[in-house]
């Protein structure tokens, strides 16, 4: 497990973008696993800038996102499809047909999840998975629980996640109560993983997840068992680590 610690949000974003960019430059037809949330917005902005400046091309890149709310169509401004379009896909030379998110509006969610898993496999697996981390250690929408969920699956959101995400909706009652997420097994199969975290509000969970015991009550802790993980932090999020 490697730690990259930078000054501030901009430093963390640049550093994370450089890791992703080098994967794309090494293999222009690579498969990216992507995350939404506040944390990676700056990283996507750096990648957009790099693409506009001709340093990287997404022309042959395929993407799979971690998760999506159930019941929000792609045009909804809080759907993760909308987030990805507005923060990355609309501003780079990617072929949108190669961009994949779980379909939270599918009639049969279980079947959609199985097909999503299969599609990742058919694409050759994920070369690099980008993750943020929740204050309770969740990755994707894999919340603290008794077992690590294996594959892409529907989930009921916890009150803490609904409340945390309500900042982006006009009222907490509008936050979807369920979502679809890659499983911990899906994430662990990625050949490389980077986790981004910034701000002192993430310092405790960063310490617990990456230096504490590997337990399903802190889902991100499982990443300690992955052979190629880079944790990209600003100094505030790293402030409780003894490294």
Which residue ranges make up the site for ligand F6R (CB under 6 A)?
35-39, 66-67, 132-134, 138-141
Residue of this chain nearest to ligand F6R (CB atom) = 132
Taking the CB of residue 19, how many other CB atoms lie within 10 A of it? 18
CB of 168 to ligand F6R, least distance (A): 9
> Is 67 among the catalytic positions?
yes
Of residues 117, 127, 143, 234, which has the active-site annotation? 143
> Is 138 among the catalytic positions?
yes
Of residues 87, 136, 142, 165, which has the active-site annotation? 136
Would you list the DSSP string of 19-35? HHHHHHHH-TT-EEEE-
Nearer to ligand F6R, 62 or 65 (CB): 65
- Helices (DSSP H) in the chain: which residue ranges? 8-26, 41-52, 80-87, 109-122, 159-165, 184-188, 203-211
Rg for the chain, CA atoms, rounded? 17
Of residues 50, 127, 138, 234, which has the active-site annotation? 138
CB of 143 to ligand F6R, least distance (A): 9
Name the burial class of residue 133, with classes exposed (0-12), middle (13-18) and buried (19+) by CB atoms within 10 angstroms of its CB. buried
> Is 100 among the catalytic positions?
no
204/150 Cα distance (integer angstroms): 26
> Is 65 among the catalytic positions?
no
Of residues 67, 117, 127, 234, which has the active-site annotation? 67
Angle between helices 41-52 and 80-87 (to 10 degrees): 40
Nearer to ligand F6R, 52 or 177 (CB): 177
- For residue 14, give both structure tokens: 């640049």
Nearer to ligand F6R, 25 or 172 (CB): 172
Nearer to ligand F6R, 67 or 117 (CB): 67
Instruction: Answer whether 133's CB lies under 8 Å from 195's CB.
Output: yes
CB of 28 to ligand F6R, least distance (A): 25
CB of 134 to ligand F6R, least distance (A): 4
Q: Just list the catalytic residues.
A: 67, 136, 138, 143
């Amino acid at each position: 497990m490697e730690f990259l610690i930078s000054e501030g949000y901009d430093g963390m974003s640049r550093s994370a973008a450089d890791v992703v960019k080098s994967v794309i430059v090494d293999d222009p037809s690579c498969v990216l696993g992507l995350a939404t949330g506040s944390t990676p917005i700056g990283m996507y902005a750096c990648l957009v800038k790099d693409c506009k400046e001709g340093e990287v091309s997404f022309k042959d890149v395929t993407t799979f996102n971690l998760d999506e709310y159930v019941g929000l169509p792609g045009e909804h401004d809080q759907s993760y499809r909308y987030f990805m379009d507005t923060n990355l896909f609309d501003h780079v030379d990617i072929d949108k047909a190669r961009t994949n998110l779980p379909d939270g509006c599918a009639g049969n969610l279980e079947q959609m999840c199985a097909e999503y898993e299969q599609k990742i496999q058919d694409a050759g697996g994920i070369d690099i998975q980008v993750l943020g981390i929740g204050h309770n250690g969740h990755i994707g929408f894999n919340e603290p629980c008794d077992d690590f969920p294996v594959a892409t699956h529907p989930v009921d959101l916890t009150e803490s996640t609904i409340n945390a995400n309500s900042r982006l909706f006009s009222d907490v009652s509008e936050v979807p109560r369920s979502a679809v997420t890659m499983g911990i097994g899906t994430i662990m199969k990625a050949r490389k993983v980077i986790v981004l975290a910034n701000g002192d509000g993430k310092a405790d969970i960063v310490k617990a997840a990456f230096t504490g015991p590997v337990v399903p009550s802190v889902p991100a802790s499982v990443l300690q068992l992955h052979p190629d993980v880079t944790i990209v932090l600003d100094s505030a999020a790293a402030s409780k680590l003894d490294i």
